[in-house]
Amino acid sequence: MSDASRTRTTKEKGDADPGPTQFRLPDPAVLSRSMADIAERSQRLVADWLKRQQQETQEVDPLNIGSAFMEMTAKLMANPAAIMTAQIGFWQDYMTLWQNTTRRMMGMPAEAVIDAPSSDRRFKDEAWKDNEVFDFIKQSYLLSARYVHDVVTHVDGLDPKTAQKVDFYSRQFCDAMSPSNFLLTNPEVLRKTAETGGENLLKGLNNLLADLERGKGKLHIKMTDMDAFHVGENIGVSPGKVIYQNDLMQLIQYSPTTENVLKRPLLIGPPWINKFYILDLRPRNSFVRWAVSQGHTVFVVSWVNPDEKLAEKGFEDYMHEGYLAALDAIEQATGEREVNAIGYCLGGTLLASTLAYMAAKGDDRIKSATFFVTMMDFQDAGELGVFIDEEQLRSLEEKMNERGYLEGSEMATTFNMLRANDLIWSFVVNNYLLGNDPFPFDLLYWNADSTRMPARMHSFYLRKMYQKNLLARPGGIELSDVPIDLREVKVPAYFLSTREDHIAPWKSTYRGTQLLSGKKRFVLAASGHIAGVVNPPEGGKYSHWINEQLPADPEAWFKGATEIAGSWWPDWHRWVSAQAKAQVPARVPGDGKLKPIQDAPGSYVKVRLS
């Protein structure tokens, strides 16, 4: 083999030409041992899979995708002219791409026919632009993906829900077929394969087998170094005590860091889809630590990770054993009857429901409410609506009734599909093709630390709210035989939504401002469902928008809004502290009638899925 055939030149962005890169041959002994290990593990996985197939009845189309695409095809066939127009446009662009690629190969300048947005990290490697072949592959893929999208989104007469499902799964297909996801069409992978003599592919195969083993035959992609973090040691470390617990939650009271504190305590109710320490990841980005430093006596609900024993716990049980039980405990711990409350995502939906229930019962202990990225009107639930139809709900309920709960990993997969390129395919490339170990990242550790959902509660939530949108209707939902009406909630309310939220779209969360009857403030933060919320002032990474007016149309609100640099946290603190400015000497956990049970973050949060 000649030297020319054993080397090739690479050039990284911003660097001088590093010269020829050697093709390194793998060590035969290492290769032999690796292949023997891979063969043994593969045989075991296949045997386990075959055994499981004999025990389980597999549904042909549990997501009901087939009927949606059949309906789309029927509508397309009824209008062949639209297909022809789309095809003609596609082939014209494709011919232009061929011509421009030919010009580039001849050393002549040529404009790109189509390019990926700068935010698309799949094509960040310089070879996607600098190399004519890879540039052609990239543009060819982008043209094809645009063609598919144009066809499926311009079908006349298609039911909106069906159209949304077709569009969603078409994008899933296009994302999966990206050339960046394959060895022979990814320049970065080819370069590393040459540099390591293929060791990256062996390491990647081992990573793949490890993920299959961890998922017991199902692919459970490892997104971060799961051994790098330990709750209560290097994340979730704000000092405090568990002062109360029941079947569904532990209540944590955090230790003060100021001499005086606001008289009115702060109660935070996170979602029970994930664990509470998203608000207490590290000291530098901990909302809990920051709120304590601003003089709040902070209480946080830490939900249990339920098993089959809690299958019959319903939405109203989370209200009674969550917020209402916490209010009783706070009064015992501090002597204070009145509190400020925060609800995050599903915790916010529960908070709004609880406030409506309390209004019906004449209970006024919650004096102000803050809603982080919270849905109250589910009319437009975004792409999560793709998973909420009768066929899928029946299939989901059958699974939940067998086990008594919904596996947290199944919920996590659904959320990851909403951002497949970032949360699925980027890790496929990094872990399996490049053979890299996942980077230690606290947020991704939290994302992987999912929880189960009790069957009765989750069925109620999906059917009553997502499917039927009954929470937005007066008396549409009953909790403990009490019809509730969000319009009866008159406490001051602060709404925090995020502009790029793929779980709770901000225009949908904005509708909550039109439902509650008290004084309201709506703030829109940049970024998404997590990063837009966990945005400490010290970092000031993302901006936020404010507008004192609350028109019915969210677009009208945004047009009149003013963008403010930095975190929204200080704006919230000014708002909530203005509700009641009185202060008292700082309260230490255990000084009241409730004695500490254990140190924060408690034991419930440490229960992981097997």
pLDDT above 60 for 471: yes
pLDDT at 158: 80
Chain position carrying tokens 């996985």: 45
**Same domain, yes or no, for 348 and 460?**
yes
Q: What percent of the chain has pLDDT over 70?
A: 88
Regarding whether 340 and 482 lie in a shared domain, the answer is: yes
For the annotated catalytic residues, the residue numbers are 345
Residue 234 included in any domain: no
- Report how far apart, in Å, the C-alpha atoms of 280 and of each of 287, 302, 370, 439 are: 6, 12, 18, 20
Q: Are residues 395 and 301 part of one domain? A: yes
Model confidence at 581: pLDDT above 90: yes
Within a domain: 528 = yes
Q: What is the pLDDT of residues 402-430, one digit of tens each?
A: 899 988 878 778 888 888 888 889 999 99
Which among 47-56, 80-89, 241-250 has the top mean pLDDT? 241-250
Do 362 and 459 have their domain in common?
Answer: yes
Mean pLDDT of 12-25: 47
Q: What percent of the chain has pLDDT over 90?
A: 65
List pLDDT tens digits, range 385-399: 888 888 888 888 988
184 and 260 belong to one structural domain: no
Task: Check whether residue 193 and residue 246 sit in a common domain.
Answer: no
Residues 61-74, mean pLDDT to the nearest whole number: 68
| Most confident by average pLDDT, 71-85, 184-198, 213-227, 475-489 | 475-489
**Residue written as tokens 């005086």?**
260
Same domain, 337 and 457: yes
Residues 6+ apart with CB under 8 A from 504: 345, 373, 374, 375, 382, 497, 529
Residue 461 lies in a domain: yes
pLDDT of residue 45: 55
In a domain, 506, yes or no: yes
Instruction: Label residue 286 by pLDDT band (50, 70, 90).
Output: very high
**Structural domain of 138:** 64-197
Which of the listed residues 168, 197, 226 is the one where a domain comes to its end? 197
Does residue 141 have a pLDDT over 60? yes
Last residue of one domain, picked from the residues 181, 197, 213: 197
| Residue 374 neighbours by CB under 8 Å, 6+ apart | 343, 344, 345, 347, 348, 349, 351, 352, 495, 504, 509, 512
What pLDDT, on a 0 to 100 scale, did the predictor assign at position 47?
57
Task: Identify the band that residue 18 occupies on the pLDDT scale cut at 50, 70 and 90.
Answer: very low
Pairing type for strands 266-269 and 339-344 reads: parallel
Helix, strand, or coil here: 9? strand
Q: Within this chain, do residues 379 and 308 fall inside the same structural domain, yes or no?
A: yes
- Is 53 among the domain residues? no
Is 228 inside any structural domain?
no
Position 472 in a domain = yes
Q: How many domains does the chain have?
A: 2
Q: Which tens digits make up the pLDDT trace of 230-256?
A: 999 999 999 999 999 999 999 999 999
Looking at the predicted structure, is the pLDDT value of residue 311 above 80?
A: yes
Residue 297, pLDDT above cutoff 90: yes
Residue 12: the pLDDT is 40
Q: For residues 188 and 271, state if they share a domain.
A: no
Q: Cβ contacts of residue 363 below 8 Å, gap of 6+?
A: none
Count of Cβ atoms closer than 10 Å to residue 456 Cβ: 20
pLDDT per position as a tens digit, 20-42: 455 565 555 655 555 556 555 55
Domain of 462: which CATH number? 3.40.50.1820
Helix axes 132-152, 80-105, angle to 10 degrees: 170
Q: Is 50 exceeded by the pLDDT of residue 19?
A: no
Each residue of 199-230: pLDDT tens digit? 999 899 889 888 888 877 778 889 999 899 99
State the average pLDDT over residues 503-532.
Answer: 96
Contact 527, 498 (CB under 8 A): yes
So what's the pLDDT on residue 1? 39
Mean pLDDT of the residues in the chain: 88
Give me the pLDDT at residue 4, please: 37
User: What's the pLDDT score for residue 212?
Assistant: 85
Instruction: Identify whether 205 is part of a domain.
Output: no
Gap between the Cα atoms of 61 and 389, Å rounded: 13
- Among residues 169, 197, 225, the one where a domain terminates is 197
User: Is the same domain home to 140 and 248?
Assistant: no
Q: Distance (Å, rounded) from C-alpha 358 to C-alpha 368?
A: 13
Does 376 lie in the same domain as 501?
A: yes
Q: Indicate the range of 8-17, 59-68, 270-279 predicted with least confidence.
A: 8-17
H helices present in 117-235, as ranges:
127-130, 132-152, 160-176, 187-196, 199-214
Note whether 137 and 280 are same-domain residues.
Answer: no
* DSSP, residue by residue, 87-109: HHHHHHHHHHHHHHHHHHHTT--
pLDDT for 80 equals 75
